Amino acid sequence: MFKLLHIDSSIRKRQNNNPQHDSISKRLAYSFVENMKESSSVSQYVYRDVGMNPPPFTDQDWLGAVFTPIDKRSTQQCQKLAISDTLIAEVKEADIIVISTPMYNYGMPAQLKAWFDQIVRVNETFSFDLARGNFPLEPILSGKTLVLITSCGEFGFEVGGVREHMNHLAPHIKTLSKYIGCERIFEIASEYQEFADLRHQSSLEAAFIETRKLAKRLI
């Protein structure tokens, strides 16, 4: 049985009056999650749509609270970290983390970056020790699986693709995922959306098939 944390980040809804406005990444993530649920392998499910309900950006007061020892934090500092504490607790509980995201300006949406900034936190998800030399950061959490579901307007962002050097979405998320304990990563991508041609339809259909296959694989 798995505890599943599901993070959507598109600013679009999954379903709209005009289907052409539906979020592709949210639709794909929904397919994966529903297939997991149908297998009765999910014991706990937590959902957050940070695209529609983004966490606050961090600021200097937030940073000051983070670096204040827990037993010396003021009431105001504890309140400042309350959202971060809640989000981190959800990550710690999860066995599988599902992140769905569109590619915006070749990277992740600001809302998703805000979520990562709230949860990748020293002494909570990673430790810092200069005695380790040039690599002082180490993850505290471990054993988690990341299912990364992306949608792109263009194509060729995969390794060896014509736009690999322009992909600042998946590589960034994969780097950060280490510091929230993700040791296995599976990626499903839909491309060609802006072209609205048969290539996009084929890519989307293949991505839906992959959501079902991966759900069965992880059961």
Name the phi and psi angles at 155, rounded to 5: -155, 170
DSSP assignment of 112-173: HHHHHHHHS-BTTTEEE-GGGTT--EEES--SEEEEEEEE-SS---STTSTTGGG-BSHHHH
Is 10 annotated to bind a ligand? Reply is yes
Q: Which of 56, 47, 34 lies closest to 5, judged by CA? A: 47
Is 41 annotated to bind a ligand? Reply is no
Is 24 annotated to bind a ligand? Reply is yes
Residues 26, 111: Cα–Cα separation, whole Å: 15
Annotated binding site for FMN: 10, 23-25
Annotated binding site: 10, 23-25
